[in-house]
Amino acid sequence: MERIQFYPPEILKRVMLQDAKINGISISQLTVDILMEHYGLAVATENKKALSEIIDEVIDEVKTFVKDHPAGTTFDLLTASETFKNIHMVADGKPSTNRATVGKIFASKLGKDSFKNIVIVRTETGAIKRSPNRATLYRIL
């Protein structure tokens, strides 16, 4: 998806921010939704989920994955969560933005509660090791 800069007047920006907050979506996704509807390309709203709901689903799926796999297993979020793998542009916003947000939230949970035995895999130089699809790799201890 290509990035397009948009400079709304302050009054429009305030209304859009409020609408995005009420709907639990990003301002970018709100803009895409409005334009998709305007051009008759809108996706049915029942197929959309708020990012907070997606995050909860991904966390639950990763918890299940960790419980079902032995210590030493390495994984990325695309492997451990079907919901994460299915985040797409039209229904859930720009993939790179939403996937990055979910990844950061997951990483903040490492070493705590259900993820106390999960660590980021690192190379010998200390760099984060990545899967073939460039996703961060995690290991179950």
The β-bridge partners of 71 are: none
Q: Is-above-0.95 flag for pTM?
A: no
Of 128 and 42, the structure prediction assigns the larger pLDDT to 128
User: What average pLDDT does the structure give for the chain?
Assistant: 86
Please tell me the predicted confidence (pLDDT) of residue 22.
82
Residue 94 has pLDDT above 50, yes or no: no
Please tell me the predicted confidence (pLDDT) of residue 14.
93
Secondary structure E strands in the chain: 74-75, 118-120, 138-140
Domain residue limits, the chain: 10-39, 51-140
Please tell me the predicted confidence (pLDDT) of residue 89.
44
The model's pLDDT over 23-82, given as tens digits with 9 standing for 90+, comes to: 778 888 888 888 888 888 765 554 567 778 889 999 999 999 999 999 999 999 999 999
d(CA 20, CA 32): 11
